[in-house]
Amino acid sequence: MRKSETADETESRRALDTQRIAETRQSENVNETERRRAVNRDNMAVRRHSATEKEFERRRLGDRQRKAFARQEASSKVPWAFNFALNYLPNKRYQDNPLFATGKYS
């Protein structure tokens, strides 16, 4: 309480001070909330972008592998039985392997 003011003036000054403090706190909270929302929005955008990038890369690799496989199939004029014998019947490489040498897997 200042020397030249009455009790009413003091009360009104205190009320104004508390109101001003409450307003600044409110605006700080709003600013903080807005900042947090903006950060979350940016993070989500980055995450979404990286997910689409990964998906795009995966598809691109899949297309490349499919095309390569199709080219290989078209270029090989080997009959299916010979292909089967080469790929699926036991060969020297498997017989050198101790697991396959037992005859259990061959």
- What are the residue boundaries of the structural domains of the chain, listed by start? 7-75, 79-106
Q: pLDDT tens-digit profile of 53-99?
A: 777 777 777 777 777 777 776 666 666 777 677 677 665 565 566 66
* Structure confidence at residue 4 as a pLDDT band (50, 70, 90): confident
pTM to 2 decimals? Answer: 0.30
Mean pLDDT of the chain: 74
Contact (Cβ atoms closer than 8 angstroms) between residue 65 and residue 76? no
Give the C-alpha separation, 8 to 22, whole Å.
21
Q: pLDDT tens-digit profile of 5-53?
A: 788 888 888 888 898 888 888 888 888 888 888 888 887 777 777 777 7
What is the token pair recorded at 56? Answer: 């795009």
Look at the chain and count its residues.
106
Q: In sequence order, which residues have a C-beta less than 8 Å from that of residue 76 and are 6 or more positions away?
A: 83
